Amino acid sequence: MVNHGTQNTGQAPYYISLAAFLASLGLLLLTIVDIRRGFLFSNYFKVGAPSTLLNLDPRQLGLLLIGIIGAWLSYRAMKRLESTLKESINFKRLATILAIAIGVLLVTDLFIYRGVPTSRFLAAGKMSIGSGPMGLGRAIPVTSLPDWLQPAGDGINYLLVVWHATTLGMFLGSLFLVAGAGLVMKLHGNSFITHLTGSAVSLTQPFCSCCAAPIGSALYRKGASLGPTLAFTVSAPMLNITSLILASALLPTQFALLRIAGGIIVGVFITYGVSRLAARWLPSEETEAGNNKLVGWASKALSAYSRLFNFEKLFSEAATDSPSALISNWLGMTWRLARVMVPILLVGSVLAVYIVLLMPQTSNSLAGVVTTAVFGTLLMVPTWTEIPLAAGLVNSGLTGIAAAALITLPAVSIPCLSVLAGAMNNLKVALTLGLSVLAAGILAGIIFL
């Protein structure tokens, strides 16, 4: 016989535990973003101080400890109480509410991460770039390494610069995989409206291409259609609100308009064209692979690589039928996603830095525009870095090169295209997307010569 009085008595501690978990998670996220930005205990808003890479303070360790212990204890309490409250609480509905709350906390953290330096740049009226080969800051002194190893050091530096956004991207991607059925349904279909939805979702996701790709791949593996997936992945670095604000405030008017219009053209229309074109290839892909040994071997290699991305098979929908199960599966999926994504992003980043060393000196000519567009399509930069790079090029009179860089640098990169190819088990889609971005960059550069 069920003792309803006991159940009702246990509901209050359960809801308190749920609220304590969210509060602890919020504290953890706030502390981690402060380690990156230094706005709680350091005057980050003052131009020139402190470091843009890492800002450690002993008080942060205390906050981290409180957050970790609080999250663990509240999770354990929820898990224990759920076994006695099955008939009095709708745990599946609570799991959905918790997933939404976690998503809001992650997006809020992302906006703090992007918003703090945005305020600083707007106050200063300028942005600066780092000392690395792609405008990156350097967390480790690569000049002390042998010459042949310095590009690898700069590739590692890149991940150290974007580690916070990359981590948030994997947390959000795994959340979509575990509990994102509602969002995926809105991104399922081949209509242009569905495609626009993919771009619209990205407006609040100020990620670089490397950080957007894990989320895009998670959405696709969960069941989102190709078009909205590509729209989200490319629009996140090109059309996120903070990038458009900085471009409007810090670039000359015609280049600010190019950044905004180019983002719409590439993020919405070009990705839509690529998705419609890809729909014609996919039915014949396997037939072609069987008629050519080389193509067949390449197809097998791509299939093996793609199997790394079978995240959606790890958990069933029933596995997230309670808040504690959601938390456990979300963190487990994040770890699984990180084990795949971090090595891919690291290898792609190192490869991209080696490639940038091959880039010749360019002039404000058609050859210079083409060269810049090629390298801009392959290379990765942290969010917004294309803006100070372009501003410096414009001031030097290299207007065509600046235009090409504004379009190609944020849109895609080697790591981004590698992740997309693996998630979709289709190299042709990734190559066509890259070539389309390249063509758009060349056209923009020609217009501004």
Looking at per-residue pLDDT, the higher value among 293 and 128 belongs to 128
Whether 347 is in a domain gets the answer yes
3-state SS assignment for residue 359? coil
Same domain, 288 and 376: yes
Q: What is the pLDDT of residue 259?
A: 94
Residue 360 DSSP class: P
Residue 438 DSSP class: H
3-state SS assignment for residue 146? coil
Query: Other CB atoms closer than 10 Å to residue 441's CB: what's the count?
Result: 27
Kindly compute the dihedral angle of the four CA atoms of residues 325, 328, 333, 338, in this order, to the nearest 10 degrees.
Answer: 170
* Residue found under tokens 């100070």: 388
Whether 111 is in a domain gets the answer no
Q: Is the pLDDT of residue 163 over 50?
A: yes
Per-residue CA distances from 199 to 139, 154, 254, 273 (Å): 33, 31, 23, 14
Peptide bond before residue 50 is cis, with ω within 30 degrees of 0: yes
CA dist 209 and 206 (Å) reads 10
Per-residue CA distances from 285 to 280, 296, 298, 410, 434 (Å): 10, 10, 12, 30, 19
Same domain, 47 and 179: no
Tell me, rounded to whole angstroms, the distance of Cα 208 from its chain centroid. 6
Q: What is the pLDDT of residue 250?
A: 84
How many domains, in total, are found in the chain?
2
% pLDDT > 90, the chain: 35
3-state SS assignment for residue 43? coil
Q: Mark which of 42, 66, 91 sits at the end of a domain.
A: 91
HSE-CB of 299 using CA atoms within 13 angstroms: 14
Same domain, 133 and 76: no
% pLDDT > 70, the chain: 84
Same domain, 272 and 369: yes
Q: Is the pLDDT of residue 65 over 90?
A: yes
CA dist 89 and 4 (Å) reads 12
Q: What is the pLDDT of residue 285?
A: 44
Same domain, 179 and 260: yes
With CA atoms as reference, report the closest residue to 64 among 104, 108, 25.
25
Q: What is the pLDDT of residue 284?
A: 45
Predicted model pTM: 0.82
Q: Is the pLDDT of residue 448 over 80?
A: yes
Least confident interval from 100-109, 133-142, 200-209: 133-142
Same domain, 281 and 385: yes
Q: What is the pLDDT of residue 129?
A: 62
Per-residue CA distances from 436 to 40, 141, 174, 272, 440 (Å): 43, 36, 29, 11, 6
Over residues 224-238, the mean pLDDT reads 93
Same domain, 133 and 67: no
Q: How much is the mean pLDDT over the chain?
A: 83
**Which band of pLDDT confidence, cut at 50, 70 and 90, is reported for residue 150?**
confident
Same domain, 25 and 137: no
Q: Mark which of 74, 91, 108 sits at the end of a domain.
A: 91
Same domain, 208 and 340: yes
pLDDT in tens, 242-299: 888 888 888 899 999 999 999 999 999 999 999 999 877 654 444 444 455 545 565 6
Over residues 52-71, the mean pLDDT reads 87
Whether 99 is in a domain gets the answer no
**Which band of pLDDT confidence, cut at 50, 70 and 90, is reported for residue 44?**
low
Over residues 71-99, the mean pLDDT reads 89
Query: Other CB atoms closer than 10 Å to residue 145's CB: what's the count?
Result: 14
Q: Which amino acid is located at 384 in the chain?
A: W
CA dist 268 and 272 (Å) reads 6
Whether 97 is in a domain gets the answer no
3-state SS assignment for residue 134? coil
Whether 104 is in a domain gets the answer no
Same domain, 203 and 307: yes
Contact 255, 403 (CB under 8 A): yes
Q: Is the pLDDT of residue 121 over 80?
A: no
Over residues 189-199, the mean pLDDT reads 91
Residues 6+ apart with CB under 8 A from 81: 10, 13, 14, 17
Alpha-helix runs per DSSP H in 282-426? 285-290, 293-306, 323-356, 366-378, 386-395, 399-411, 414-424
With CA atoms as reference, report the closest residue to 402 among 355, 360, 448, 356.
448
Whether 101 is in a domain gets the answer no
Instruction: Locate 117 and state its tokens.
Output: 């330096």
Whether 57 is in a domain gets the answer yes
Per-residue CA distances from 426 to 49, 200, 306, 419 (Å): 45, 25, 9, 11
Whether 107 is in a domain gets the answer no
- Determine phi and psi for 440, rounding to 5 degrees: -65, -40
Same domain, 436 and 383: yes
Same domain, 287 and 189: yes
Q: What is the pLDDT of residue 120?
A: 74
Residue 190 DSSP class: S
HSE-CB of 422 using CA atoms within 13 angstroms: 23
The whole domain housing 7 covers 1-91
